[in-house]
C-alpha cells in the first residue's frame, strides 16, 4: 500500500519489409488528426484604463498562459522544472493564429475565451534546443469502471456509488478546477488519452455487474470494451475510511485488464468533504493516465529508421487517405513511393523512435503492420 499526498530501440538505421493494411472497424476514431499545437479555451479577465487596453493585456497574458500549457502538454511532468521561460517577444513569433469566443467588455474590463495555434516546427526546435523530451500523440479511449466498496459489498450501477458520480461529473459534465490559472488552462485541453465512463444503461447492467468487474471476468469486460470502442479497460475501486485521528482516507485500486503486475492500493488523505476528496483523486488518476501515455510516446530524434512497406490498394482515394494518415504521424519524418500499381504500392516510411512506438502510433489510426516473412 502506498500513501499518496522504454522499450529497447534500434541502435542504427534499418530497412525491413512489412505490409501495412487499413483496419476498417465499426468505430473509426481519428484523434491524432487534431492539431496538437492548438491550445483552446484560455479564459481571460483583465481590467485596465479602457476596454481596448484590457484586451491588449488579456491577449498577451493569454498567449503566455497558452504557450506554457502547450509545453506542459508536450513534455513529461518530471521535466517541468526545466521548461524554458520566455517573454512575449519570444513567444509571439511562434503564434500561428488565435481566435476569440465569448467576448464581453465594459468600460474598463475585458473577458473572453482565447484559442491559440502555435507553429509546430518552431516549438519543436525550442524543445530540442533545450534537450527536453516530448510527445505529440493522442490515444484511443480508456473505459473506466468506477467500483465503490462498502465493507464487504461492491457497487457499480447500484445506489449508492458516489465514486461513479464524481467520475461522471468530470468526464461527462465537464467539472474542472477553476484555480490556479495553470491548472484551469491544462484541464481546458482535450485529454491525450480520452476516458469513457459507461452510461449505466440496461445493456451495460446486463453486460456486467460489480462483482464481475471486481473479479475481472474477461468475457464480460471484453464485450463492454467492444460496445464502447475503447482500447482498454480499467476497473478503479475505491473505499472510504477514517484514520485513527479522524482524517478521511480514500483507498484506491487500479486494475488494468490484461496487465500482469499486481495492482497497488493507493491511499489518499483528505478533509471531511468526501466529494471534494473524490474529485481530487479522480483528477490525480486522470493526470497519471495522461502522463503514462505521454512517457510511452516520447519522440526519440536520436534514432531514425527507414521501413520498406508494401500496401494493398482498393482504390485511389483509400490509398491517398492511408498515405495521409501515415504522413501526419508525429513520428514520421518522410515517406517516399518507390513503385505503385493498380492494386499495390511499394514505399518507404522514415520515422524516429522505435518500431514499437511506430506500431502504437499506427494503431491509433486503425492501421497495422504485418510481417511479410522478414
In angstroms, how far is CA 170 from the centroid of its own chain? 15
In the chain, domain spans: 7-33+299-371, 38-129, 142-296
Furthest-apart CA atoms within the chain: distance in Å = 75
Angle (nearest 5°) at CA 227 between 223 and 233: 65
The dihedral sign for the CA sequence 72, 74, 78, 81: negative
Q: What's the confidence (pLDDT) of residue 23?
A: 39
Q: Can you give the pTM of this predicted structure?
A: 0.81
Domain 142-296 in the same topology as domain 38-129 = no
pLDDT score, position 161: 97
Rounded to whole angstroms, the Cα distance separating 282 from 191 reads 14
Helix/strand/coil (H/E/C) assignment for every residue in 67-126: HHHHHHHHCCHHHHHHCCCCCHHHHHHHEEEEEEEEEEECCCEEEEEEEEEECHHHHHHH
| 7-33+299-371 is classed CATH 3.40.50 | no
Residue 222 grid cell: 471484453
Per the CB < 8 A criterion, the answer to whether 227 and 233 are in contact is no
Residue 25, judged by CB atoms within 10 A of its CB (0-12, 13-18, 19+), counts as exposed
CA-based R_g, the chain, Å: 23
Hey, what CATH topology would domain 142-296 get?
Rossmann fold (3.40.50)
Grid cell digits, residue 229 = 470502442
Per DSSP, what are the bridge partners of residue 155? Answer: 148
pLDDT at residue 367, rounded to an integer:
86
> What does each of the 374 residues of the chain score in pLDDT, given as a tens digit?
445 442 322 333 344 444 454 433 333 333 333 589 999 999 999 999 999 999 999 999 999 999 999 999 999 999 999 999 999 999 999 999 999 999 999 999 999 999 999 999 999 999 999 999 999 989 999 999 999 999 989 999 999 999 999 999 999 999 999 889 999 999 999 999 999 999 999 999 999 999 999 999 999 999 999 999 999 999 999 999 999 888 999 999 999 998 878 888 999 998 769 999 999 999 999 999 999 999 999 987 777 788 888 888 888 888 888 888 888 787 787 888 888 877 888 888 887 877 877 887 787 778 888 877 76
DSSP β-ladder status, 142-150 and 195-196: parallel
Q: Which fold has domain 38-129?
A: Endonuclease I-creI (3.10.28)
Amino acid at each position: 500500500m502506498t500513501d499518496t499526498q522504454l522499450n529497447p530501440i534500434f541502435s542504427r538505421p534499418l530497412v525491413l519489409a512489412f505490409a501495412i493494411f487499413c483496419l476498417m472497424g465499426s468505430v473509426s476514431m481519428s484523434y491524432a488528426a487534431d492539431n496538437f499545437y492548438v491550445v483552446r479555451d484560455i479564459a481571460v479577465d483583465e481590467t485596465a484604463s479602457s476596454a481596448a487596453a484590457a484586451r491588449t493585456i488579456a491577449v498577451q497574458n493569454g498567449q503566455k498562459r497558452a504557450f506554457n500549457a502547450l509545453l506542459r502538454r508536450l513534455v513529461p511532468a518530471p521535466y517541468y522544472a526545466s521548461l524554458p521561460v520566455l517573454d512575449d517577444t519570444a513567444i509571439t513569433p511562434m503564434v500561428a493564429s488565435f481566435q476569440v469566443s465569448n467576448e464581453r467588455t465594459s468600460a474598463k474590463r475585458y473577458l473572453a475565451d482565447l484559442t491559440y495555434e502555435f507553429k509546430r516546427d518552431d516549438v519543436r526546435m525550442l524543445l530540442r534546443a533545450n534537450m527536453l523530451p516530448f510527445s505529440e500523440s493522442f490515444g484511443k479511449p480508456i473505459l473506466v469502471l468506477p467500483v465503490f466498496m462498502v465493507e464487504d459489498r461492491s457497487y457499480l450501477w447500484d445506489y449508492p456509488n458516489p465514486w461513479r458520480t464524481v467520475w461522471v461529473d468530470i468526464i461527462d459534465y465537464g467539472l474542472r478546477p477553476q484555480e490556479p490559472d495553470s491548472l484551469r488552462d491544462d484541464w481546458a485541453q482535450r485529454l491525450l488519452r480520452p476516458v469513457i465512463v459507461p452510461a449505466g444503461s440496461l445493456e451495460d447492467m446486463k453486460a456486467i455487474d460489480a462483482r464481475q468487474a471486481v473479479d475481472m471476468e474477461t468475457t464480460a469486460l471484453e464485450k463492454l470494451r467492444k460496445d464502447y470502442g475503447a482500447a482498454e479497460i480499467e476497473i478503479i475501486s475505491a473505499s472510504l475510511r477514517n484514520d485513527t485521528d479522524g482524517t478521511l482516507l480514500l483507498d484506491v485500486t487500479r486494475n488494468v485488464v490484461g496487465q500482469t503486475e499486481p495492482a497497488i492500493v493507493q491511499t489518499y488523505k483528505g478533509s471531511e468533504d468526501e466529494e471534494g476528496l473524490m474529485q481530487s483523486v479522480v483528477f490525480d488518476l486522470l493526470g497519471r493516465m495522461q502522463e503514462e501515455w505521454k512517457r510511452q510516446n516520447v519522440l526519440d530524434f536520436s534514432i531514425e529508421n527507414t521501413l520498406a512497406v508494401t500496401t494493398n490498394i482498393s482504390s485511389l482515394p483509400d490509398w491517398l487517405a492511408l498515405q495521409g494518415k501515415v504522413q501526419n504521424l508525429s513520428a514520421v519524418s518522410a515517406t517516399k513511393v518507390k513503385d505503385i500499381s493498380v492494386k499495390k504500392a511499394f514505399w518507404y516510411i522514415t520515422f524516429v523512435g522505435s518500431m514499437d512506438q511506430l506500431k502504437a502510433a499506427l494503431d491509433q489510426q486503425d492501421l497495422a503492420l504485418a510481417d511479410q516473412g522478414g
